[in-house]
A = this chain, B = another copy of it.
Amino acid sequence: MESETPTPTPPSAAAIHPGIAPISYLLGTWRGQGEGGFPTINSFSYGEELHFSHHSSKPVIAYTQKTWKLQSGEPMHAESGYWRPRPDGTIEVVISQSTGLVEVLKGAYNAEEKVIRLQSELVGNASKHKLFRPLGVNASGLPEN
């Protein structure tokens, strides 16, 4: 009788959900550095780290990003969110940013070429909302909705 009511066991954290397999090459931690510049401030060197993680039971990749000043280690921007690829080759990304913005991006992924194209579709500011409706031809072939 025991075999009829097995105790549920947590799924292995190592197994990759089939839904995220096409972009699973993102999983892990990515680091780099760069030079930043804006017209109104001095240029600066910064470090950047992206982290993509997952749980086998969900077709979604969790994402965090942070940048910091190389000289002082002082944190600059940070953001976090979720990447949701779909079986039809499209992908949705939702992000919240430390500066007080939320963002929805839509696009498409090419698993073989390991290319993901994203287009910002919504940027919401806690103080001001902007809804971006791209004009003209949608180069990435995404549905306009």
Chain A residues in the interface with B (C-beta under 8 A): 8-11, 55, 57-58, 60, 62, 64, 71-75, 78, 80-82, 84, 92-98, 100-106, 121-122, 124-127, 129, 131, 145
Contact = CB atoms under 8 A, between A and B. Distances in A.
Interface centre among A57, A94, A121 (most CB of B within 10 A): A94
How many copies of this chain does one complex carry?
2
Contacts of A124: 94, 102, 104, 122, 124
A10 B58 contact: no
7 contacts: A10-B74, A62-B78, A92-B100, A92-B127, A94-B126, A102-B102, A104-B126
Contacts of A106: 126
A82 B94 contact: no
Contacts of A55: 75
Given A8-B74, A78-B82, A94-B97, 19 more contacts: A9-B72, A60-B100, A62-B78, A81-B96, A81-B102, A82-B100, A84-B126, A92-B127, A93-B126, A94-B126, A96-B96, A96-B102, A102-B103, A102-B124, A104-B125, A104-B129, A121-B126, A122-B129, A129-B131
